[in-house]
Structure 1
Amino acid sequence: MNGNRVVINVREGKLIGIIEENFLDGKYIAFRGIPYAKPPIGKLRFKDPAPPEPWSGARDASKYGNVAVQTDIITGEMIGDEDCLYLNVYTADVESWRKRPVMVWIHGGAFSLGSGDASVYGPDYIVRKDVVLVTLNYRLGVLGFLNLNDEVAAGNQGIKDTIMALRWVQKNISKFSGDPGNVTIFGESAGGVIVHYLTLSPLSEGLFHKAISQSGVVTNPWAFIELTNKATNKGFQLAEYFGKATSDPKVAYELLKIIDARKLRKAEHKLQTKTERLQKIIPFPPSLDHKSLNPVITEDPSILIHRRAKVPYIVGYNSCEGSYLVNSTFGYLNEETFKEINSNFKKTIIPRILPTLSQIPITIEELRFLYFGNKTVSEETLINYADFMGDIYFYRGIMEVVDAQMSSDANEPTYLYKFSYENEASFLRKILNVTLPGVTHSEELFYLFYSHMMKDLGLPPFAPDSKDYKIMNRLTQMWTDFAKTGNPTPAITNLTPIKWTPLKIAGNVYDYLDIDIEPRMKILRKEEQRCNWKNMKHKL
């Protein structure tokens, strides 16, 4: 240790980290911008990640690495770099003989945006709970998920990046006083989906020991795409956009391999139709990658979930996920759009849901009536629309996974939660202009992480006597207790006053923790769920 610098040796070379003030109390050591794979550039574009090269001399680890190529949500400009496979490690101490549990965060952002840096995911809240926190970047959009159904570009490169990062953790985390034998992966939205895929894929077996999926699982309709039709494959559409209409994957690959990365990602957005935007279709999500030598996803998610997460697993959602999708910030809802939806309600439904409707069976009109009755879709019925979107995009898929996790031969606990703590002045609600009641998608993140964006905007941290502080303290306590023990409430305390019990195996009700200022265990009956369309139809 030298002043505010800390030097350690990992497999690839020497790192110089930096001691930072934790704005709550104490200090932590940050090691930022550590390469966990070779830069995925040139011949490595669209390929599986390769192990990192060693370096000579000491590497400065005080600054974050490049973020993946993406659109800046504030300015709308293209930012980032293809050379983006970096991770960050935050620890209280590197000299402790006692190894701490490790928590590896996988960020969300529709497989299209985001990074592991502190602009959103500041470590201050979590690292003070005696765990080592790792955050990471992975490839996004076409660069992370191009699948031409051929070994030249077989898909899911972004998920494989996270697996490479977990391998790096296994090799190196003990140098940061982390325990490679006690690793928890956790993520939200697209990050929650990746966490769930990792629990189901043989490729990541043994790299972690517990998992948390927040508001995202593999059965959400935006979390997977079938690529059987070349005409609708966005990869071939991109090749055509850049002047080469072809159905030959090798020809498309040779072209896409040399196009400027930012131009590629810009074109990805330009190719989206108005209907696709209305249906919130993600151009490049995960897909079957059976043409890969090391596939991550070998079956449709509806079959895959029956393998079950075979580690202790927390899964849950926020009380009004859908308000994020219907708020005015995204600009998709206006009088013209309402007219379009009311004349053809099917336009609002992501195509992956349509086979489900015919299986129930329920017509589009009956489905619409379940949510809107005789009213039209308008500013006045936005809460109905938010409920509808929340059920389609989040709740139905999450409950399908919960059902699979409850099957009779499950041997590891699954904990279900609903995050209900509402704060009308929350940072995210302000940014997104969400006015509908309930907790919107990703709002809980600001109680797990100290967003340095807030700090940059001069917003004060939570006051120690505030409700926000209490929720932050409770959420980080349960998440880190789970990482330490596999049980989110190993002891009843003022902070965790309720025993969070797991789902009952082969039960016919869902036991869940309602996370609010007064947390409570509650029961949801299978037949009473709004998103159980079959049952709701019978009630009509």
Structure 2
Amino acid sequence: MQELLNFISSIFLLLLGTPLHSDKQIESDLQPVTVTPSGTIFGLYNVTRRGRRFESYRGIRYAEPPIGDLRFQPPKMIDKYESPVNATRDGHVCPQAWNNCCRTPPYEDMDEDCLFMNVYTPLKKDRKTLLPVIFFIHQSAFLAKTARSDIFEPNYLLDRDIVLVTFNYRLATLGFLSTGDKIAPGNNAMKDQVIALRWVQKNIRAFGGDPNSVTISGCSSGSVSVIAHMVSPMSKGLFHRAIAISGSPTKIDKMPSDQYTWAEKQARLLDCPTTNSSVIVACLKTKPWRDFARTYDKFYVFDRNPIHQWDMVVENDFGQERFLAIDLMEAIRQGNMTHVPIIINQNTAEFFSMAPPIITNSTILKQMNEDWEMMASLAFLLPKTNLKKALELLRTVYLQNRPLYLNSPESLERLGSLYCDSSVAFPVHRLANLMCRHSTQPVWYFFFTYVGECGYYISPYTGKPDRAVHQDETLYLFPSPYYCEQIGLIGRDAVIVDRMTAMWYNFAKYGDPNPIDADLGLYWPPMTPDNRTYLKISDDLTLHKNLREKRFELWEQLHPIDYN
């Protein structure tokens, strides 16, 4: 109710004396107002962790609602707003499954009309010059999550002089349906991201952001997206630096040109015919979005496996604007990409949290032991090429040819390590080693091992985080009440927040994470092919070489590539 009163009051103030499209920035004690090339936008004030007041604009529609005839179509950017935009609350969450997993909140505000963004910026009086922009792409396997402000709060990063942009993009079937022909070429979710970047280029100056200093950043599938934008012809000129954390598109298998199998499965789940792509898409267009959301869990074969389902494709050319026209790993090897400074990382125990549901479930555990070929090939994303040898070696090296035991800490460690390396750690290793050879710009590599009070994984033995798992580094960049109380100003966790935000701020401003305006306490050199240095982030910051390379020799043997 108070937000509505603030909005009405500001409209009243404008009508009394300030033209809606004045070049002069408008501001009242009640709420901030920004006049952009696309129209006038009203926000709210908020306060950072250190007590700094900032402007918050939430729920800005950046593209037309992808509903009706626009379902399964590329997004259409909004050039002009017909009336002032009330950006005082988050936009709808894109349709997704919610299975009470991972302490994620239920989303009562879910809707197919979900292409909204949030912009957070220091007060106008605090912006002496245009500020660097951090454009953050949320994670969760292109299947889940949202940019909602209580999931990715700005209260840490806005203590720095940056403008932060978060946004939603279409997920799962509604975002990635691809039949490999002109009916559904694919990659619409990625084109949502491109449209969001174009919106930033057009409008971010009005929020105090520098359109010539945009850092694209993301975690997990958001990190995969970052690398894809470096390769995509649609994204050229829209960004100037990149941060890719805990995720890599350099998978063991080549990228497909369609996901027809998933399209057929979605059709069957919604009682649609599967005769051809035309009838599949025509029927799926008639189904309520809630029907998609309620079927997404049925794409899993067991627990949350396979974790990677809908994904990007290399688009065949049907005269459309193509997001990807070449395999991502091949593009990097050719140097066929936008060359910008980049930060890459992995954590100690990536995807470790996938192991406990198996080790604690006697039925799934029995199936894993007895049908290793089927279960392991799905869980660890193994291609058919060299599959038999891979299954034998992985079982020998990681499980030591022993069965997995119910509620066994040893079995948990072994299975968790296999999930870690197959899903994230080895692909990130491959990404960093390719980038430092083929990018003309510097590559910084870090290893996040810090364990504090915050974590996506809670140990069943201690009731606390006991290792740095997938996505944990984001909790020291974005407070999220579902995983951690907001970190204060003193203590171990506070030091990590200060270091992580310093690193991102330095990099966004200068294209270099090293101490300039914010002190990290050491010089972190870029990684090179002959000097593969990385920064280890724990209680202390230390430099090391050749991250986990001995551990990854098995994977290099199974799936060799020429790095040069």
- TM-score, scaled to structure 2: 0.86
Instruction: Tell me how far apart the structure 2 counterparts of residues 164 and 122 of structure 1 sit (CA, whole Å).
Output: 23
Q: Deviations over 1:26-48 (max 9, x none)?
A: 21100111111111111100110
Q: 2:123 aligns with which of 77, 93, 105?
A: 93
Q: Kindly state the Cα deviation for residue 9 of structure 1 after the two structures are TM-superposed.
A: 1.3
Question: Corresponding residue for 1:442?
Answer: 471
2:223 maps to 1:192: yes
2:487 maps to 1:451: no
* Letter in structure 1 aligned against 2:414: N
Q: 1:311 aligns with which of 328, 340, 349?
A: 340
* Letter in structure 2 aligned against 1:422: V
Instruction: Tell me how far apart the structure 1 counterparts of residues 522 and 132 of structure 2 sit (CA, whole Å).
Output: 23
Instruction: Tell me how far apart the structure 2 counterparts of residues 519 and 200 of structure 1 sit (CA, whole Å).
Output: 32
Instruction: Tell me how far apart the structure 2 counterparts of residues 66 and 531 of structure 1 sit (CA, whole Å).
Output: 45
Instruction: Tell me how far apart the structure 1 counterparts of residues 291 and 544 of structure 2 sit (CA, whole Å).
Output: 49
Instruction: Tell me how far apart the structure 2 counterparts of residues 246 and 356 of structure 1 sit (CA, whole Å).
Output: 28
Question: Corresponding residue for 1:500?
Answer: 524
Q: Kindly state the Cα deviation for residue 119 of structure 1 after the two structures are TM-superposed.
A: 1.7
2:494 maps to 1:464: no
* Secondary structure of 1:316 counterpart: strand
Q: Kindly state the Cα deviation for residue 332 of structure 1 after the two structures are TM-superposed.
A: 7.8
Q: Do 2:258 and 2:314's aligned partners in 1 also have CA atoms closer than 8 Å? A: no
Q: 2:169 aligns with which of 123, 138, 157?
A: 138
Q: Do 2:487 and 2:493's aligned partners in 1 also have CA atoms closer than 8 Å? A: yes
Q: 2:364 aligns with which of 337, 346, 357?
A: 337
Output aligned runs, 1:307-456, within 5 Å.
Answer: 307=336, 310-328=339-357, 334-346=361-373, 347-350=375-378, 352-355=381-384, 357=386, 362-378=389-405, 379=408, 380-407=410-437, 410-423=439-452, 425-430=453-458, 437-453=466-482
Q: Deviations over 1:237-290 (max 9, x none)?
A: 22233333323211111111110011023223224333xx56424332222222
Sort the Cα spacing of 1:30 and 1:436 in 2 relative to 1 into closer, same or farther, 3 A: closer
Sort the Cα spacing of 1:174 and 1:205 in 2 relative to 1 into closer, same or farther, 3 A: same
Q: Deviations over 1:405-429 (max 9, x none)?
A: 122x532001111101012x42533
Sort the Cα spacing of 1:354 and 1:25 in 2 relative to 1 into closer, same or farther, 3 A: same
Sort the Cα spacing of 1:102 and 1:363 in 2 relative to 1 into closer, same or farther, 3 A: closer
* Secondary structure of 1:154 counterpart: coil
Instruction: Tell me how far apart the structure 1 counterparts of residues 382 and 67 of structure 2 sit (CA, whole Å).
Output: 36
Instruction: Tell me how far apart the structure 2 counterparts of residues 167 and 431 of structure 1 sit (CA, whole Å).
Output: 42
* Letter in structure 1 aligned against 2:504: W
Q: Kindly state the Cα deviation for residue 77 of structure 1 after the two structures are TM-superposed.
A: 7.2
2:288 maps to 1:240: no
Q: Kindly state the Cα deviation for residue 365 of structure 1 after the two structures are TM-superposed.
A: 1.7
Q: Kindly state the Cα deviation for residue 228 of structure 1 after the two structures are TM-superposed.
A: 5.8
Q: Kindly state the Cα deviation for residue 184 of structure 1 after the two structures are TM-superposed.
A: 0.1
Instruction: Tell me how far apart the structure 1 counterparts of residues 209 and 149 of structure 2 sit (CA, whole Å).
Output: 20
Question: Corresponding residue for 2:15?
Answer: none
Q: Do 2:49 and 2:488's aligned partners in 1 also have CA atoms closer than 8 Å? A: no
**What's the % identity of the aligned pairs?**
28
* Secondary structure of 1:521 counterpart: strand
Question: Corresponding residue for 1:59?
Answer: 85
- TM-score, scaled to structure 1: 0.89
* Secondary structure of 1:354 counterpart: coil
Question: Corresponding residue for 1:512?
Answer: 534
Q: Deviations over 1:3-42 (max 9, x none)?
A: 1311121222211111112242121100111111111111
Q: Kindly state the Cα deviation for residue 521 of structure 1 after the two structures are TM-superposed.
A: 0.9
Q: Which moved more, 1:81-90 or 1:246-255?
A: 246-255
Question: Corresponding residue for 2:53?
Answer: 27
Q: 1:81 aligns with which of 101, 111, 136?
A: 111
2:101 maps to 1:72: no
How many residues matched?
519
Question: Corresponding residue for 2:279?
Answer: 251
* Secondary structure of 1:182 counterpart: strand
Q: Do 2:506 and 2:517's aligned partners in 1 also have CA atoms closer than 8 Å? A: no
2:311 maps to 1:285: yes
Q: Deviations over 1:101-144 (max 9, x none)?
A: 00001000110111112222100110111000000000011111
Question: Corresponding residue for 1:262?
Answer: 290
* Letter in structure 2 aligned against 1:529: R
* Secondary structure of 1:388 counterpart: helix
* Secondary structure of 1:389 counterpart: helix
Q: Do 1:69 and 1:265's aligned partners in 2 also have CA atoms closer than 8 Å? A: yes
Q: Do 2:154 and 2:478's aligned partners in 1 also have CA atoms closer than 8 Å? A: yes
- Structure 2 spans left out of the alignment, 5+ residues: 1-26, 560-564
Q: Deviations over 1:135-165 (max 9, x none)?
A: 0000011111000112232211111111100
Instruction: Tell me how far apart the structure 2 counterparts of residues 101 and 144 of structure 1 sit (CA, whole Å).
Output: 29
Q: Do 1:421 and 1:515's aligned partners in 2 also have CA atoms closer than 8 Å? A: yes
Question: Corresponding residue for 1:295?
Answer: 322
Q: Kindly state the Cα deviation for residue 432 of structure 1 after the two structures are TM-superposed.
A: 9.2
Q: Do 1:322 and 1:388's aligned partners in 2 also have CA atoms closer than 8 Å? A: no
Q: Which moved more, 1:410-419 or 1:243-252?
A: 243-252
